[in-house]
Structure 1
């Protein structure tokens, strides 16, 4: 039995050695990771807070320059006791006040309401000011109807839209601005939906209506993409198509179909989502499938395999009353990967995990304006290698990825205006892990979205960090030029073992970096073309290579070309 295990491990080792470059050997988990990482994604849109109730005209009962000695206040209200509100105006008692002073006193009452999340306007009705008593009338807003403005362009059912708002602030109840803002924020969880809530005079006396201005994309959107960002072993050139069907039933639902083709791989993904619990949450389900085959010129054993992934996610908003809310997500996923070498199964793995993620965009006016984009994700999961006994024994003798794992990813990005039509974009991203990871969960440095001087899937490891710095200038409305510097550090294995150098780069930790330029051209609103060139800087620690060959590689430029058409 022991000889069987030893021979099995040796066989796997020999098959891996058949790869022309062991440091970039591909398997289904790694290919699945790279494919899903490079799929187009849209960012959540930020809500707009509702405006205030239009001011109510007041009667001028004091002439300019006249004063009144204030002896007390009579406050007409229902939500707070008169004594509680009178206590807010104690500093005015015994003073000679002008009309402006009295209006400030009324405004102080309105601010007190606002502090307690009520919308109200305090006015000074016509009065005689007998015995120095000042009357303040508080117009307390109560929730009325929810209407969709005629200028809106939306398919969302009006009753469905009203449910989003009334779930936070029921009709007839005191109107709370934060509740209205939350309802409007929840509407923006529908992908592509832009929402603005405007408060207006209600149909019934004492009520305030919410008039929604909604704008959403057309029901069917299609994106076609062609570029050379794929992994070399399955074909650099990829063609991707994504069709999104949005809100066709008026319930806020969305269906997205994605397909990707390279020379030696096929990938399909189906994603469906809808708002639930009157927009409190966005529920989303995803399923994807991959099939690949590597040409024998890269590996004499002609590896082939397949992978499947399913996921269920729920999203919600935090700090909903802010113009920059936090997007939270809780999810569960499962991945299955299967690889074959020389016609023999070499691995049959399963990875199950739960994730918690947060996203926030913070806009500001510093130095001409800019924004921070913050992303973070925690993942805990279990790797099951029991589907293939030989692979499990090989893993036990090497990386020991079988079992529970945890990892954290984060990124901080800053977009900053520098001068007229000039900007800087800086992104720092990183991953840390609790142990050695399955290839589907590793960090990577190479590729169009990373260190652009290196091919996709170069520089893989359990832990790493990546810094991208770009300075650009918009020459015309449709042409942008930029320069970039990319640098990353990778740790291949959280924990090393005897003989690990024979399977990958001799350096467990190394740095990759490069510099380059990019031109982005948008000749039409639905067409965008990008061309990027980048040059290696420093040593290439990702592989064993002679000095002569390294010098030759340094003279090479890595070029990327991408064409995107949206219809």
Structure 2
């Protein structure tokens, strides 16, 4: 019989699991905390919502009226009535080309159209400029401006469903579209899009002239969306220790209280020993788009061995409160602010009564948004940036705490920053180019639950899930895509060729002996993969995705004696598949 291990020796082994990226399990998961964070980030996207009607806008300024005759009149200036949004200098600049010369009827209408075009360019999309009958008095032309106000009681709601209460939508519209100022494109788009964002309702709208000249009515129709929706997914995105094949489901309960709120639940199982659950509730609290939410997530695993230290098991639970607010909400540009506070409790332990428990209190503030435009043909840009500050408290046994303080020193306050930038760019016909950059910066050595990971289908598909875990890193994905709109079997098929580049710094501040038993490891290195992907979509029903990635060069984290990666394979390629069914 082998002699029993000392308590300190076991503690060092378990601490190594939680703090070093060189052990097999950590390289793939980082323990319960890291797994929990990964599961939260990779839930399948919900099915696309039914698209509401396009925002109706009045037509652009028409061409100048055709003159009834070629007669002209000398013009000394203009007398403009009804202007509240432009100053005198702006009016003079717009109309000066038509001043001090003889104008025909067509020229006078051209001046009116120039003024109306300026209003439209400034966002006052309902503004109109009229030339009244007999407009000339002593060489001065009169122009009547109607800047486009919403009529009193000009918002009409037509209910074809009651999933979202009418007063919720009415408050949004009335807040952004008052009758006391001219309608502006930014306010108009924001109001309708914030209403459209409410889960449980689809918005259709039409703008039509009011009884008084220069006023309009807005008729909005509310249609029900399904109150319940969801999906079932299966993939091989798990790791070799906690189970490669995973089965999951995500459920959406839309507007359960009629306020445009939403309840989301998700569960994932990878065998009976690895389970993940997530519950989120988000509710609008202001007609200006502010929402408050709360969620809880839990992950647990059980292993036969844990870094060679008896049997292992672990769990992580996170509680989070958060708020979101749309700083900009429009058809082509959006910017959101998000802030959250939370507590993550992690406990990785072995049957030898060794405990690597720790608690992370975290506060995060960030922005995110998107922009689509025709500036470079046609494309969509997405971006996110956040700053997190927190405190790690070691709650395990004394040996584990001593190990951390003598080595990685993750205990105490920390800060990290994260970014994501992506661009989908149409090139020509069915061909597009997609690029994505993600990264993390850290102010000190981090716990495994806060690290940046490389490896797996999303970054470096030629490597196992989470092959490299570092305090700081960058991941670049470039892909050429070809879209086949109507294959013989239906739906749409997208193929892609991609290259992925990752750079990582394992430890912000290395310490003596950080390499453990693998002297080949460097603290900073890069990983590269190339690959091929196929994605078949049947809208609203199925998404099936498969990809294969090949490593370029040697694996910097390969075992020195076997050349194996953390999944126990020395292959230079990995295959990944995922199927999602929506209901």
Taking structure 1 as the reference length, the TM-score comes to 0.88
Structure 1 match to 2:408 = 399
Q: Aligned equivalents of 1:196 and 1:59: distance in 2? A: 33
Which region of structure 1 is more displaced relative to structure 2, 340-349 or 394-403? 340-349
Structure-to-structure mapping, 1:456-471, within 5 angstroms: 456-471=465-480
Whether the aligned pair in 2 keeps the contact of 1:535 and 1:554 (CA below 8 Å) is: no
Give the match's secondary structure for 2:138. Answer: helix
Q: 1:256 to 1:235 in 2, by over 3 A?
A: same
2-side partners of 1:54 and 1:161: how far apart? 26
Instruction: Give the 5 Å matches for 1:137-536.
Output: 137-144=144-151, 145-148=154-157, 155-190=163-198, 198-202=206-210, 206-212=214-220, 217-263=225-271, 264-296=273-305, 299=308, 301-321=310-330, 323-365=332-374, 368-475=377-484, 476=487, 477-502=491-516, 506-522=521-537, 525-536=540-551
Q: Which stretch shows the higher mean deviation, 480-489 or 400-409? A: 480-489
Could you list the per-position Cα deviations for residues 516-555 of structure 1 after superposition, in whole angstroms to 9, with x for gaps in the alignment? 22222235741122222222221111243237658x9554
Q: 1:472 Cα deviation (Å)?
A: 2.6
1:558 aligns with 574
Q: Distance in 1 between matches of 2:419 and 2:312?
A: 33
Q: In the TM superposition, what is the alpha-carbon distance from 1:216 to its structure 2 partner?
A: 7.0
Question: Matched residues in 1 for 2:552 and 2:304: separation?
Answer: 30
CA distance, structure 2, for counterparts of residue 227 and residue 379 of structure 1: 31
Q: Structure 1 pair 191/329, CA: closer, same or farther in 2 (3 Å)?
A: farther
- TM-score (ref. length: structure 2): 0.86
Partner of 2:3: none
Instruction: Say which of 124, 129, 147 aligns to 1:122.
Output: 129
Kindly tell me: are residues 539 and 480 of structure 1, through their superposed partners in 2, closer, same or farther at Cα, counting changes over 3 Å? same
**8 A contact 1:9–1:394 mirrored in 2:** no
Determine the structure 2 residue equivalent to 1:35.
39
Shift of 1:253: 1.0
1:293-343, Cα deviation, whole Å (9 max, x unpaired): 123387452211211111122112233356211122111121111121124
Higher alpha-carbon deviation: 324-333 or 58-67: 58-67
Match of 1:3 in 2: none
CA distance in 1, matches of 2:480, 2:406: 47
The structure-2 alpha-carbon separation of the partners of 1:133 and 1:364, relative to structure 1 and needing over 3 Å to count, comes to closer
CA contact (8 A) 1:75 1:85 kept: no
CA separation of 1:124 and 1:286: change in aligned 2, threshold 3 A: same
How many Å separate the matches in 2 of 1:346 and 1:352? 19
* Per-residue deviation, residues 489-540 of structure 1 (Å, max 9, x unmatched): 2111000111111177732122222222222223574112222222222111
Residue from 68, 71, 80 that aligns with 1:75: 80
Task: Sort the Cα spacing of 1:429 and 1:54 in 2 relative to 1 into closer, same or farther, 3 A.
Answer: closer
SS, match of residue 63 in structure 1: coil
Maintained 8 Å contact 2:293/2:322:
yes
Separation in structure 1 between the aligned mates of residue 28 and residue 263 of structure 2, nearest angstrom: 35
Question: Residues 146 and 213 of structure 2 are in contact (CA less than 8 Å); yes or no, is this contact kept in structure 1?
Answer: no
Displacement of 1:365: 3.3
Report if aligned partners of 2:127, 2:214 keep a CA contact under 8 Å in 1: no
Contact 2:164 2:200 in 1 (8 A): no
Q: What does 1:532-547 align with in structure 2 at a 5 Å threshold?
A: 532-546=547-561
Q: What's the offset of the Cα at 1:374? A: 1.7
Deviation for aligned residue 1:179: 2.2
Partners of 1:426 and 1:474 in 2: CA distance? 16
Distance 1:96 1:8 in 2: 101
Q: Pick which of 293-302 and 423-432 moved more.
A: 293-302
CA distance in 1: counterparts of 2:165 and 2:110, whole angstroms: 43
1:198–1:211 contact (8 Å) kept in structure 2:
yes
C-alpha separation in 1, matches of 2:383 and 2:510:
32
Change in 2 beyond 3 A, CA 1:60/1:256: closer
- 1:46-75 superposed Cα distances (whole Å, 9 cap, x missing partner): 999854446899997952322111234333
Q: 5+ residue gaps in structure 2?
A: 1-5, 18-22
User: Does the CA contact (< 8 Å) of 2:284 and 2:290 recur in 1?
Assistant: yes
- Render the CA deviation track for 1:185-240: whole Å, top value 9, x for unaligned: 43354358765664321356653222346677422111100011012211111111
Secondary structure of the 1:147 match is strand
Are residues 57 and 448 of structure 1, via their aligned partners in 2, closer, same or farther at CA, if it must alter by over 3 Å? closer
SS in 2 for 1:11: helix
Compared CA separation, residues 218 and 161, structure 1 to 2 (3 A) = same
